[in-house]
Structure 1
Amino acid sequence: MHRDRVAPILIALLIAAVATPAAAASEALEALRDYYAQVETLQGEFEQTTRDDRGEVVEQSAGTFAIDRPDRFRWSYAEPFPQEIVADGDRLWVYDKALAQVTVRPQGQALGSAPAQLLAGDYAGLEAAFAIEAEADFVRLTPREEGQAFVEARLRFDGERPTALEIDDALGQTTRVALSALQVNEPVDEQRLRFEPPEGVDVYRGRVGQGRP
């Protein structure tokens, strides 16, 4: 190849190498905005894996979820330890079936790390609570205030559908939540978005930050 043709080709390759990550980051941010603009309800299944700071698996769980934006959701852990996290728009309930114990606190106090809490709000609220930064194929959320339940979260999308969340906590652990069998903008059974403590369980007024990530 003639030498005077090499330089333009190299320049084009360099531009492509720079432009591709930038375009992907722009798409990731657009997907986040599309989610909050277009998705009113989201239901599906999840698999959750937590690794310690050495990368070793310390917990695995799975279950189902339902989100009715902007402020109601149910996150149900089916295995290995059944637990229900329910936000009814006023209060946040955490029901540990094995312990026969319910913790409840005002929902407005709960800027927690539960995946549903990140996906159930609105974009304005997300911007107010987090610094938002788009990377090559995900969106990074960093709490604006110190002392929160996690130090960073990353959201991945396929179009306006969230497919995975990764959450880093203050202990150096990373929790990855993979979402599947998604139903978008389908009606959610109202019973899933309400919670009444079962008879015989202990009910406690909890602290901010209690409950599983």
Structure 2
Amino acid sequence: MRYSQLPTGRRSILAMAFAALVTGASFPWPALAQTAPARLTAEQQADVERMQAYLSGIRTMQARFVQVASNGAYAEGTFYLSRPGKLRFQYDPPAPLLIISDGTVVYSYDTALKQTTQIPVNLTPLWFLLRERISFTGDVTLTRYDRQAGVVRLTLVQTKDPAAGSVELALQSEPLALRQWSVTDGQGITTNIALTEARQDVRLDGKLFVFNENQPGGVQQHQ
């Protein structure tokens, strides 16, 4: 995307939006990021396994999202998830962005410039959340577990390439619910995406996850 052609405010919104899903695969990350596996008590391990099962059990989700970056950029919109593999971020105006994963490729469409950027879904930081079975072992390593005020925060990295990036998940403990995730890019900018009004196991139109060059906006899900 040619951010240099856009006003500064719009460029920062686009940059932080795309970074939240994609740039973890292609930018260096802060050298101080923790990469060693977390040492968990038996109680904490049981908690982690409960959260893995919860996330694996989510088939569909629709929610509003608020996206804030540490550089001050802000955007919001509607988030759709259909596991495995599919998601959609429908950004509200004035953010000129639409992000769709069809299960194989993530498409980022700039509605102002009419430009599309593509990347394989398995190269994005959130790929492990889109897989059929979610596990924080094997090719993903849990490096930090923290529980405070009924919220559990889990920090995860790729096992084979921990310096490639990290994602922090925030889950409400009782009842279990995914509330937020955070990604930090190679420039040290942290992007937080918080979910509100989340509904699970809802019927979603499959066309939400199809990117059409001739009609990039595609279908709109009725509320």
TM-score band w.r.t. shorter chain: 0.5 to 0.7
Q: Match for residue 119 of structure 1?
A: 129
Superimposed CA distance per residue, residues 128-152 of structure 1 (whole angstroms, 9 cap, x where no aligned partner): 442114222211112321563xx32
Amino-acid identity (%): 22
Q: For residues 193 and 40 of structure 1, do their structure 2 counterparts lie closer, same or farther at Cα, with a shift above 3 Å needed?
A: same
Output the CA distance in 2 between the equivalents of 1:169 and 1:63. Answer: 21
Q: TM-score if structure 2 supplies the norm length?
A: 0.65
- Give the C-alpha shift of residue 98 in structure 1: 1.0
Residue 146 of structure 2, aligned match among 122, 135, 142: 135
- Give the C-alpha shift of residue 84 in structure 1: 1.1
- Give me the CA root mean square deviation: 2.7
Give ranges in structure 1 of 5+ residues lacking alignment.
1-20, 52-56, 201-213
Q: Match for residue 181 of structure 2?
A: 165
Q: For residues 199 and 71 of structure 1, do their structure 2 counterparts lie closer, same or farther at Cα, with a shift above 3 Å needed?
A: closer
Q: Match for residue 74 of structure 1?
A: 88
Output the CA distance in 2 between the equivalents of 1:99 and 1:84. Answer: 12
Higher percent of residues as strand: 1
Q: For residues 181 and 199 of structure 1, do their structure 2 counterparts lie closer, same or farther at Cα, with a shift above 3 Å needed?
A: closer
Q: Which stretch has the larger CA shift, 123-132 or 82-91? A: 123-132
- Give the C-alpha shift of residue 192 in structure 1: 0.5
Output the CA distance in 2 between the equivalents of 1:118 and 1:84. Answer: 21
Output the CA distance in 2 between the equivalents of 1:77 and 1:84. Answer: 6
Q: Match for residue 116 of structure 2?
A: 102
Q: Match for residue 205 of structure 2?
A: 189
Output the CA distance in 2 between the equivalents of 1:122 and 1:199. Answer: 29
SS of 1:192's partner is helix
Matched to 1:89, the amino acid is G
Q: Match for residue 65 of structure 1?
A: 79
- Give the C-alpha shift of residue 125 in structure 1: 6.2
Output the CA distance in 2 between the equivalents of 1:92 and 1:69. Answer: 14
The answer to whether the 8 A contact 1:44-1:183 is kept is: yes
The answer to whether the 8 A contact 1:24-1:135 is kept is: no
Q: TM-score if structure 1 supplies the norm length?
A: 0.68
- Give the C-alpha shift of residue 122 in structure 1: 3.8
Output the CA distance in 2 between the equivalents of 1:50 and 1:182. Answer: 21
Q: For residues 174 and 106 of structure 1, do their structure 2 counterparts lie closer, same or farther at Cα, with a shift above 3 Å needed?
A: closer
Aligned residues: 169
Q: Tell me if 1:36 matches 2:47.
A: no
Output the CA distance in 2 between the equivalents of 1:169 and 1:23. Answer: 33
